[in-house]
């Protein structure tokens, strides 16, 4: 693929986003903007205790309240499937994980604050809420399992009575490595040990979740409008496993979606409820989450407690890494929760370094908290954070330069098979580090530190590298690893008679700009203007089965499917062109939207061929069918491995403990790039979320399982004055070797690569001020930093 676009709208062009026009004029179509005639509204009555036995639910008074259509409780869902888990992890003893039921509405017990106990459907939302207040709940509060370590104690309260304990699984990876790792650590010249917490986060896309469901009594078809990153997956999970609705009777639409960041991947109770209730009530049913509800019902992210040991030989070469992690699952297994601390985390523990021996142990724990699942990066930020923190700590302990220590241990030969079961295809880690040193002006740091010190501030510099694995695949491999889904992607390229094109993709855009970037690829391949191409997504009725958008997979997997389908289009179009020009198919060339016969001046235009496909009067009907529409399903042969090097400079106010990010620089290798403007935007957003995790955001429960950070009053979202301008570069490009576009994925990199450099910078600042602080858990809030300085 050429890097520069021939047409100005093709690959490599920073084409402005076409979707912006509707968003900027108030013409977006988000799920809450959709109203179905005659709709009723549902309000969920949610548990206000973390753990309790439901002794009774008296709805009699509420039933007679004005506007009430029907009140549902867990009893209405007996015999109906619970919310399924899409990944089954097998533990280090060969046992499958514990997999408790997850009812749509609580049955028998409530297991976290926010667990839905009853649902009131009424003519208006206010009436639903009024009636919900009249429901008399008899819930016997039980001691809650909140802290993970305590939850694993033998006498801990059990989240699920039918399980032997709160341990979901005890995973070892790679189990065969363990002996060698233990031996290497025993024989090491130096071992750095770090215990840390990867703080629980709430994804907080700005659009809260919404579901609107309708049931058509004439043909028994359901339509669910929902805020989803993957409507086909919701159709499969909800249809097949929860409600027993066959796919051909269920349409799931995810229109404009206001951000996802992982938390809109999962199938949620509210979607299933609205769909179920629409038929039960014979009325469309709508639910719009408030932000307060979102905090206690959207799946949370991260929440790991980890001990990591890094062993080095006398020359400071890494010889072994051993980790032990407790990973919070929350009260139920969310859709992909078990995969996050295992396959998305353990496989990344080699990072950018040639460490020969690695062993990862993860114990997943049930607690009386909101379920935890993938949030931007999902497992990979957790791996990167612990690795890049322990390397920094080792450099300090050994008195060596942290960048030099990293460079010394970089993987430099590709492909590279790690000790944690993955094979990196390409990368150039010294090059991204070189680029980082340049764009971050690391040479100028000492002078900037002096300026800060003159103002009474401490200044710190933190650096880290990261590696990501995107586009998880191939399906047959992930099936062996426990995935209950395929991880291919689909595309249908529908060329219309006049030459315009609709591309139906299984990927979903909720901010990523697919509607702009995807046509750039097809335009480049066909040599036509991108404005002739529209992307269709987010509707199971309009495209083939697709797996959706998460894990930075859309371009690497979905884009590849689009390339394959477009190649089929080109092949067929050449046959038609050959017929029209009475030439041999092998001599046909397609360039700038014109089909030519090599070595002649014969040509037919794109539109002539497309018209012939649908008006096949002069057409090779004996050889090929009319029409010009092709579908491809692409199943990658490997993950892609974006990588990069990040640097953060902070100023720290020693009187208040407040840390401000003064400079942030990111040098990434994403392979080939379709739209550099969009790629930079993705990195910016990821960095802000990483800075948020490192300095601001913290989801906290008290010992009784009450959520303390339950709104923006207490959960600190990064705001415009919390972050600086970022210096972002993606000129280091080692194209992926196994997908047709050579692309790697960029969506999560910023969130993966930034937290360690922020904390490394905070530690550097503290130590520069003479404070002997070796580690500080995120978020490095003013109060925590100040407390650390007090010793």
Partner 1 sequence: MAKVAMTVNGKSVSREVEGRTLLVQFLRDDLRLTGTHVGCDTSQCGACVVHVNGEAVKACTMFALEAEGAEVTTIEAMANEDGSLNVVQQAFQDYHGLQCGFCTPGMVMSATSLLKDNPKPTEQEIRDYLEGNICRCTGYHNIIKAIMAASGQDMPSMAAE
Partner 2 sequence: MYAFDIERPTSIADAVAALAKEDAQALAGGQTLIPTLKQRLAMPSVLVSLSGIAEIRGVCKDDAGLLCIGGGTTHGTVAKEAVAHYPGLAELAAHIGDPAVRNRGTIGGSLANNDPSACYPAAALASGATILTNTREIAADDYFQGMFTTALEEGEIVTEVKFPIPQSSCYMKFEQPASRFALVGVFVAKFADGVKVAVTGASNNGVFRWSEAEAALSSDFSASALEGMSLSADDMIADMHGTAAYRAHLVAVMTRRAVSAAK
Interface with partner 2 by CB under 8 A: which residues?
126, 129-130, 133, 290, 292, 655-658, 696, 698, 700, 708-709, 712-717, 719, 781-783, 786-787
The listed partner (partner 2, partner 1, none) that binds 26, CB under 5 to 8 Å by sort, is: partner 1
CB of 694 to partner 2, least distance (A): 12
- φ/ψ bin of 261: left (φ > 0), alpha (ψ from -120 to 50), beta (otherwise): left
Answer with the entry of partner 1, partner 2, none that 27 interacts with (C-beta below 5 to 8 A by kind).
Answer: partner 1
What SS3 state is found at 615? coil
Distance between CA atoms of 115 and 205, rounded to whole angstroms?
21
Query: Which entry of partner 2, partner 1, none binds 727, CB below 5 to 8 A by partner kind?
Result: partner 1
Minimum CB separation of residue 285 from partner 1 in Å reads: 17
CB 115 within 8 A of CB 46: yes
**Which residues contact residue 766 at a Cβ distance below 8 angstroms, ignoring those fewer than 6 apart?**
458, 460, 652, 773, 776, 785, 788, 789
> How many residues touch partner 1 (CB under 8 A)?
60
Among partner 2, partner 1, none, residue 687 binds (CB under 5-8 Å by kind):
partner 1
Query: Out of partner 2, partner 1, none, which partner does residue 616 contact, by CB within 5 to 8 A per kind?
Result: none
479-538 binders of partner 1 (CB under 8 A):
510-513
Q: Which is nearer to partner 2, 90 or 292 (CB)?
A: 292
Residue 304 has φ and ψ, to the nearest 5°, of -115, 145
Does 447 help bind partner 1 (rule: CB under 8 A)?
A: no
Distance CA 614, CA 245 (A): 36
Q: How far is the CB of 59 from partner 1 (least distance, A)?
A: 25
Q: Are 145 and 326 in contact (CB under 8 A)?
A: no
Pairing state between β 603-605 and 629-634: unpaired
Q: Which stretch binds partner 1 (CB under 8 A): 5-13, 329-337, 551-559, 678-686?
A: 678-686
Least distance in angstroms from the C-beta of 692 to partner 2: 10
**Pair type for strands 659-669 and 726-729:** parallel
Q: State the CB neighbour count (10 A cutoff) for residue 187.
A: 11
Token readout for 631 is: 């579908």
- Phi first, then psi, for residue 307 (nearest 5°) are -115, 125
Smallest separation, CB 117 to partner 1 (Å): 21
Nearest 5°: the CA angle 555, 558, 562 is 105
Alpha-helix runs per DSSP H in 713-769: 749-768
**Which residue lies nearer to partner 1 by CB, 32 or 392?**
32
Q: Which is nearer to partner 1, 75 or 712 (CB)?
A: 712
Please identify which residue in 52, 103, 114, 208 interacts with partner 1, judged by CB under 8 A. 208
Residues 112-151 that bind partner 1 (CB under 8 A): 126
Phi, psi of 488 (to 5 degrees): -85, 180
For partner 1, the binding residue among 6, 30, 170, 247 (CB under 8 A) is 30
Q: What's the CA gap between 181 and 508, in Å, rounded?
A: 42
Token pair belonging to 695: 């300095």
* Closest separation in Å from C-beta 262 to partner 1: 12
d(CA 569, CA 558): 17
Report the partner that residue 709 touches, choosing among partner 1, partner 2, none (CB closer than 5 to 8 A by kind).
partner 2
Q: Interacting stretch for partner 1, rule CB under 8 A, among 20-28, 267-275, 278-286, 411-419? A: 20-28
For 533, list phi and psi in degrees, rounded to 5.
-120, 130
316: left (phi over 0), alpha (psi -120 to 50) or beta: left
As separate numbers, helices (DSSP H) first and strands (DSSP E) second, the chain gives 19, 30
**Nearer to partner 1 (CB atom), residue 5 or residue 323:** 5
Is 292 a binding residue for partner 1 by CB under 8 A? The answer is yes
- Position 658 contacts partner 1 (CB under 8 A): no
Residue 421 near which of partner 2, partner 1, none (CB within 5-8 Å, type-dependent): none
Closest separation between CB of residue 65 and partner 2, Å? 13
Token pair for 244: 């027993």
Residue 499 interaction partner, one of partner 1, partner 2, none, beta carbon < 5-8 Å per kind: none
Closest distance of CB 513 from partner 1, Å: 7
Q: Which of residues 750-789 bind partner 1 (CB under 8 A)?
A: 750
Segment contacting partner 1 by CB under 8 A, of 199-207, 522-530, 590-598, 780-788:
199-207
Q: Does 290 bind partner 1 (CB under 8 A)?
A: yes
> Which span (24-32, 351-359, 455-463, 646-654) binds partner 1, by CB under 8 A?
24-32
Regarding beta strands 643-652 and 594-597, do their DSSP bridges make them parallel or antiparallel, or are they unpaired? unpaired
Tokens standing for residue 475: 């399906």
If binding is defined by CB under 8 A, does position 663 make contact with partner 1? yes
Please tell me whether the peptide bond between 515 and the residue prior to it is cis, using omega within 30 degrees of 0: no
Stretch near partner 1 under the rule CB under 8 A, chosen from 247-255, 620-628, 631-639, 725-733 = 725-733
CA 419/CA 237 separation, integer angstroms: 34
Q: Which stretch binds partner 1 (CB under 8 A): 111-119, 430-438, 698-706, 707-715?
A: 707-715
Per partner kind, with CB cut-offs from 5 to 8 A, the member of partner 2, partner 1, none near residue 23 is partner 1
- CA 286, CA 322: separation in Å to the nearest integer? 49
Q: Tokens in use for 249?
A: 């009777």
Separation between Cα atoms, residue 435 and residue 420, nearest integer Å: 28
| Binding-site member from 53, 93, 186, 719 for partner 1 (CB under 8 A) | 719
- Quote the radius of gyration of the chain (alpha carbons, Å): 27
Nearer to partner 2, 300 or 510 (CB): 300
The residues, any chain, with a CB within 8 Å of residue 139's CB and separated by 6 or more, are 47, 49, 52, 53, 54, 55, 110, 117
Q: What does the block give as tokens for 234?
A: 């919701």
Determine, following the binding rule CB under 8 A, whether residue 427 of this chain makes contact with partner 1: no
Structure tokens at 107: 């049955």
The residue (of 43 and 251) whose beta carbon lies closer to partner 2 is: 43
CA angle 270, 274, 279 (to 5 degrees): 155
The smaller minimum CB distance to partner 1, of residues 289 and 492, is found at 289
Question: Which tokens is 15 given?
Answer: 């084409």
Among 205, 346, 636, 755, binds partner 1 (CB under 8 A): 205
> Does residue 454 belong to the site contacting partner 1 (CB under 8 A)?
no
Between 242 and 732, name the residue whose CB sits nearer to partner 1: 732
Instruction: Name the site residues for partner 1 (rule: CB under 8 A).
Output: 16-17, 19-28, 30, 32-33, 126, 204-208, 256-259, 261, 290-292, 510-513, 663, 677-678, 680-681, 684-689, 711-713, 717-721, 723-729, 750
């Amino acid at each position: 693929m050429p890097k520069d676009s021939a047409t100005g709208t093709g690959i490599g062009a920073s084409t402005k986003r076409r979707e912006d026009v509707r968003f900027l004029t108030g013409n977006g179509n988000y799920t809450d903007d959709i109203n179905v005639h005659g709709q009723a509204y549902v309000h969920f009555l949610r548990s206000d205790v973390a753990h309790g036995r439901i002794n009774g639910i008296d709805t009699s008074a509420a039933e007679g309240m004005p506007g009430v259509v029907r009140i549902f409780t867990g009893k209405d869902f007996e015999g109906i499937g619970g919310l399924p888990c899409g990944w089954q992890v097998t533990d280090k003893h060969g046992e499958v994980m514990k997999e408790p039921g997850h009812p749509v509405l609580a049955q028998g017990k409530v297991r976290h604050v926010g667990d839905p106990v009853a649902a009131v459907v009424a003519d208006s939302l206010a009436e639903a809420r009024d009636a919900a207040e009249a429901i008399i709940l008899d819930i016997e509060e039980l001691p809650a399992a909140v802290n993970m370590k305590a939850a694993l104690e033998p006498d801990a309260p059990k989240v699920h009575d039918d399980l032997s304990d709160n341990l979901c699984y005890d995973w070892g990876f790679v189990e065969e490595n363990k002996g060698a790792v233990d031996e290497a650590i025993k024989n090491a010249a130096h071992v750095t040990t770090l215990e840390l917490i990867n703080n629980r986060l709430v994804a907080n896309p700005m659009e809260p979740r919404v579901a609107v469901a309708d049931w058509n009594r004439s043909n028994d078809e359901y339509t669910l409008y929902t805020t989803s990153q993957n409507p086909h997956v919701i159709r499969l999970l909800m249809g097949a496993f929860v409600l027993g609705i066959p796919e051909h009777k269920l349409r799931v639409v995810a229109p404009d979606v206001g951000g996802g960041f992982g938390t809109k991947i999962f199938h949620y109770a509210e979607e299933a409820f609205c769909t179920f209730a629409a038929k039960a009530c014979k009325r469309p049913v709508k639910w719009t989450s408030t932000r307060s509800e979102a905090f206690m019902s959207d799946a949370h992210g991260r929440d790991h407690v980890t001990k990591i040991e890094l062993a080095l030989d006398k020359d400071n070469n890494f010889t072994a890494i051993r980790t032990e992690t407790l990973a919070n699952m929350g009260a139920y297994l969310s859709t992909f929760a078990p995969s996050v601390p295992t396959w998305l985390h353990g496989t990344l523990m080699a990072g950018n370094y040639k460490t020969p021996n690695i062993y990862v142990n993860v114990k997943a724990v049930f607690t009386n908290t909101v379920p935890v699942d993938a949030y931007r990066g999902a497992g990979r930020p957790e791996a990167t954070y612990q690795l890049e923190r322990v390397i920094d700590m080792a450099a300090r302990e050994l008195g060596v330069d942290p960048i030099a220590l990293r460079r010394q241990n970089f993987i430099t030969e590709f492909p590279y098979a790690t000790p944690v079961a993955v094979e990196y295809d390409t990368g150039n880690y010294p090059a991204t580090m070189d680029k980082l040193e340049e764009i971050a002006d690391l040479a100028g740091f000492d002078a900037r530190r002096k300026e800060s010190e003159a103002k009474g501030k401490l200044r710190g510099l933190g650096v880290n590298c990261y590696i990501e694995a995107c586009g998880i695949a191939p399906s047959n491999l992930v099936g062996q690893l426990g995935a209950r889904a395929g991880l291919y992607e689909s595309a249908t390229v529908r060329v219309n008679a006049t030459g315009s094109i609709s591309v139906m993709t299984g990927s979903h855009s909720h901010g990523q700009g697919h509607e702009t970037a995807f046509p750039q690829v097809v335009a480049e391949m066909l040599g036509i203007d991108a404005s002739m191409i529209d992307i269709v997504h987010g509707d199971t009725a309009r495209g083939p089965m697709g797996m959706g958008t998460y894990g930075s997979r859309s371009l690497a997997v979905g884009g590849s499917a689009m390339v394959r389908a477009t190649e089929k289009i080109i092949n067929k179009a050449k046959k038609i062109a050959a017929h029209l020009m009475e030439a041999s198919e092998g001599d046909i060339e397609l360039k700038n939207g014109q089909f030519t016969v090599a070595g002649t001046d014969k040509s037919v235009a794109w539109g002539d061929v497309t018209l012939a496909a649908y008006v096949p009067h002069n057409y090779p009907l004996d050889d090929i069918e009319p029409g010009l529409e092709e579908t491809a399903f692409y199943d990658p042969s490997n993950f892609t491995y974006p990588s990069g090097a990040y640097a953060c400079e902070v100023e720290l106010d020693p009187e208040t403990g407040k840390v401000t990010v003064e400079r942030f620089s990111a040098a990434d290798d994403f392979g080939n790039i379709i739209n550099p403007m969009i790629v930079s935007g993705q990195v910016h957003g990821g960095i802000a979320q990483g800075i948020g995790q490192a300095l601001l955001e913290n989801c906290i429960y008290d010992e009784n399982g009450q959520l303390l950070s339950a709104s923006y009053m207490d959960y600190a979202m990064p705001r415009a004055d919390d972050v600086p301008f970022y210096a972002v570069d993606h000129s280091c490009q080692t194209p992926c070797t196994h997908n047709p576009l050579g692309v790697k994925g960029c969506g999560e990199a910023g969130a993966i690569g930034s937290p360690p450099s922020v904390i490394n910078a905070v530690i550097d600042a503290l130590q520069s001020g003479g404070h002997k602080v070796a580690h500080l858990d995120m978020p490095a809030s003013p109060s925590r930093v100040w407390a650390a300085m007090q010793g």
